[in-house]
Amino acid sequence: MLSSIPSLLFGAITVTYTAVPLELKTAPGPYTSDTVIGAKLGTLEVQITEGSVIHSPAWGTAGEVASGVPLTGPMKSENGYSTSTHYFTVMSVAYIGGVTKINRFNDTYIPIYENKCTVSNSFSVELWLVNTDKDKPNTTVNHNHRPASDFQAGSVYTLPSDFAPYFSFISAKEGNTNVNAMINNDGTPNSSGSYVSVNGVEGGADNTPIIESSGYSDPDNPGEPVTYGDPTQIVSYSVFLSEQTKTFNLSEAVGTNRKDVNTMTITVSNGIAGADYSQKVIFTDLTPVSTSAEFRMLPEESGPNPIPFKLYFDSTEVVKGEAITWSSLQNGSSNTKTIRIGGIDQNVIDSLASGTYSDTINVEIQNL
What span, in angstroms and rounded, lies between the C-alpha atoms of 319 and 332? 28
Q: What angle do CA 5, 10, 12 make, to 5 degrees?
A: 150
**pTM confidence score:** 0.59
Of residues 224 and 283, more confidence is placed in 283
Task: Give, in words, the CATH class of 7-11+236-367.
Answer: mainly beta
DSSP state of 200: T
Which residues, 6 or more positions from 147, have their beta carbon under 8 angstroms from its beta carbon?
35, 36, 37, 131, 141
Alpha-carbon distance values, 225 to 27, 75, 303, 320 (Å): 20, 15, 63, 42
How much is the pLDDT for 364? 86
Instruction: State mean pLDDT over 178-195.
Output: 91
Would you place residue 165 in the very low, low, confident or very high pLDDT band (cuts 50, 70, 90)? Answer: confident
How much is the pLDDT for 10? 43
Say yes or no to pLDDT of 346 above 50: yes
DSSP state of 228: E
DSSP state of 233: P
* CB neighbourhood size of 64 (10 A): 18
How much is the pLDDT for 2? 43
Instruction: Report the Cα 39 to chain-centroid distance in Å.
Output: 20
Domain boundaries, the chain: 7-11+236-367, 21-228
